[in-house]
Amino acid sequence: FADSGRLQQVLHNLLENALRYTEAGGRIDVLVESAPGEARLTVSDTGVGIPAEDLPYIFERFFRSKASRRVNPGGSGLGLSIVRWIVEAHKGRMTVESQLGRGSSFTVHLPVI
């Protein structure tokens, strides 16, 4: 059971970030897969990436790394915190992998009931 509108918002925010931080000619992939007991949605890009020291903070409200502010001076720093809130409200969790200058992958893990 899920709120389709809120999950649509999760996908929208993740895609919007991928588009915002991936240069022209880059690549954005969306993967939906089933695993034992969960469904996964991964949005990956070949964008600017996130510095390792910033990864623990990226889901906090209003946090924006220096690298993201350079690439995109606008934005409030709320998108990823909203994504995490929605996912956790669905009893799920978020994971992220990123390398500076090589891109990021955000994965939504949702339990299957």
Between 74 and 52, residue with greater pLDDT: 52
Q: Can you tell me the mean pLDDT for 57-67?
A: 78
Please check the confidence at residue 88 and state whether its pLDDT lies above 90: yes
Q: Does pTM top 0.85 for this prediction? A: yes
Q: Can you tell me the mean pLDDT for 75-104?
A: 91
What is the SS3 string spanning the chain? CCCHHHHHHHHHHHHHHHHHHCCCCCCEEEEEEEECCEEEEEEEECCCCCCHHHHHHCCCCCCCCHHHHHHCCCCCCCHHHHHHHHHHHCCCEEEEEEECCCEEEEEEEEECC
pLDDT for position 78 = 81
Q: Can you tell me the mean pLDDT for 32-38?
A: 95
